[in-house]
Amino acid sequence: LQYTDANGDTQYSTVAEGHAIKGQWIQLSNTNYTIPADASNLQLYIETAETSNNFYVDEAIGAVAGTVIEGAGEGKTVIRGDLNFDGRIDGADLALERRGLIKGFTDNYAKLAADVNQDGDVTVADAVLIQSFLIGKIKEFPIETKPIDTVAMEQLFAGVTPATSFKKDGENNPLFTQRFGADPGWMEYNGRIYVYTTNDAFEYDSNGNMKENSYDVGTINCLSSSDLVNWTDHGAIPVAGRNGRTTNGAAKWASCSWAPDACHKTINGKEKFFLYFANNGSGIGVLTADSPTGPWTDPIGKELISRSTPNCGNITWLFDPGVYYDEETGKGYLAFGGGVPEGKSADPGTARIVELGSDMTSIVGTPTTLNPPYLFEDSSLIKINGTWVYSFCHNWSVPAGQKFNSADIGYMTATNPLGPYTYQGPVFRNTFAQGLDNNGNNHHSIIEFKGKYYVLYHTRQLEIRMGVNGGKGYNYRSPSISEATVNGTSITCTGSHTGVKQIESLNPYATVQAETMSNQSQGIAVNGLSDTTVTGTKGSWTKVSGVNFSNGAKTLTVKACSKSGAVIKVCTGGTNGDVVTYAEIKAGSTPEEITVPVVNSVSGNKDLYFVFSGDVTFDSWSFS
């Protein structure tokens, strides 16, 4: 049950839950459920808890408390070897095992319990294991995996040519290549950095020809990382409800979702997340959620900052929010604005900063005017060692003789978040001047993560390498990150395609989402929202870096499916490197877990490649 409580917050309450297996019906029932007294806007959901498996609903019945409805009953708890589900393993179960081997099993629950070694088949070996357990030869059932026919697998992949990537070996920028992403904003939470970007996507004219990016964007990309090299793609958040390319946008009034930034705050003992965005150049909106990946809702139903906001009516471009929540004072601040009025390139006066209300969805007082020299756009706000740092992009009319150039990122400092701010100099040169791009705007965020500082920025390098417009590009942008040097009030950063070094290893013994990647080939796509999956085609592949096999590996479990059946080859060192194992995916439309043995030992820190022999939907993986 989803409902709104007396404070106006969205709450969730479990009415009933159960565990079902493939091919079996269960009944979800609660004969004495009480709807919370302060609940309004009630909505019932029937959903899977952790997977995206398909299921069917036969009927839904509501009745007064105490009413018992006939139905399939609750799902059974499957214990290996307990075929009659009485909670113990005895001679009766052995008899049912032998009977099932001869005549078949009554249902899928019994068949699942009969597969005591979990190799996917019920054979005499399972009956022998039950007998050995009953006479005390073994105290628990082993888990068996079918041996892999490596010769057949090698022959299969002899006809598979690995696809190419748009990132070269040794490059960690851009962060991903399966989609574009501009104007990166950020938020640190629970040991992960979350990056939110404008979701650039190819546009075409009426003749089907690709055209210049018009920024007709209504969604916001969300990605995260704990090590700054392996990035998890959480999908594109639907934001702008009035954008024709967006479905179910949370902000029904908005036509665009540009230049996002985010923060989180504990309110009334509950962690809340806030995503700020620009509705083209006419206002700033805000969304809220109970998770960094959503789902996101619109708390106020309108712009947070508009042209009717005091001291904001004359801002040329009312966009590019930069937010920062100061945990020391418990206050949040929002910087925004940009544009160059005619004849005012040296001092446009179009930047503003304002304190946010305690709810983070309102403002306190009148926004204060900032006067960054040669301002163009792109506000970023952060507090470093007690000093407030406001950074921005210089415009394209900077004359010779300045200590900064056109489209450089400059920064200013202050002891008070609302100013006055003093200009310090450039922190990040224009991407063209650094050889990262062949032109285009510069948009950034200065961030802090695990004790170090970095600059997030975008370039057009991906579209250039894709050969868009003959390699000149149409201004479709991709996010990158580079480490910054902070010395007192001095902040400098140089961009590169190499990017940053991995700051911690990846744990292969926990479940790793397949959409966590350091690189990917052409043909890879990420689908869904929040809990996403990877799809690939014959020869396509994904890569994760710095996987710490300190405990070695015996088995690999993958969750995947393939409509026509396929194999995932897992290698170290490259797509044609040393094979760790193969996972054969049977034909089907729903991802299922498959456990296979490791065919070659692996240890130490390794880069892993997952290569597909055919069309695959890949959900997750883990080693044991």
Q: Which residues neighbour 592 within 8 Å (Cβ) at sequence distance 6 or greater? A: 559, 560, 561, 586
Contact 165, 490 (CB under 8 A): no
Rounding to the nearest 10 degrees, give the CA dihedral for residues 610, 613, 619, 620.
Answer: -30
Q: Can you list the positions of beta strands (E) in 395-496?
A: 409-414, 422-428, 444-449, 452-459, 478-487, 490-493
Q: Which residues neighbour 489 within 8 Å (Cβ) at sequence distance 6 or greater? A: 387, 413, 424
Active site residue 203: no
Q: CA-CA distance, 200 to 180, in Å (whole number)?
A: 5
Contact 85, 109 (CB under 8 A): yes
- How far is CA 289 from its chain centroid? 15
Considering the candidates 303, 377, 584, 619, report the single residue annotated as catalytic.
377
Q: Give the number of other Cβ atoms within 10 Å of residue 432's Cβ.
A: 17
Q: CA-CA distance, 459 to 167, in Å (whole number)?
A: 13
For the chain, give the number of residues.
624
Half-sphere exposure of 438 (CA within 13 A, CB side): 15
Task: Choose among 447, 463, 459, 460: nearest CA to 495.
Answer: 459
Contact 223, 232 (CB under 8 A): yes
Considering the candidates 93, 126, 144, 183, report the single residue annotated as catalytic.
183
**How far, CA to CA in Å, does 124 sit from each of 127, 131, 145, 146, 545?**
5, 11, 16, 15, 42
Task: Choose among 38, 150, 21, 149: nearest CA to 76.
Answer: 21
Task: Choose among 251, 248, 242: nearest CA to 277.
Answer: 251
Three-state secondary-structure class, residue 590: coil
Rounding to the nearest 10 degrees, give the CA dihedral for residues 299, 303, 305, 306.
Answer: -160
Contact 539, 622 (CB under 8 A): no
**How far, CA to CA in Å, does 111 sit from each of 59, 84, 87, 132, 393?**
27, 11, 16, 19, 64
Task: Choose among 370, 361, 284, 358: nearest CA to 321.
Answer: 284
Active site residue 183: yes
Q: Give the number of other Cβ atoms within 10 Å of residue 530's Cβ.
A: 14
Task: Choose among 364, 342, 343, 366: nearest CA to 355.
Answer: 364
- How far is CA 513 from its chain centroid? 10
Contact 519, 584 (CB under 8 A): no
Q: Which residues neighbour 263 within 8 Å (Cβ) at sequence distance 6 or greater? A: 187, 273, 274, 323, 324, 325, 332, 360
Three-state secondary-structure class, residue 224: strand
Please identify every residue annotated as catalytic: 183, 377
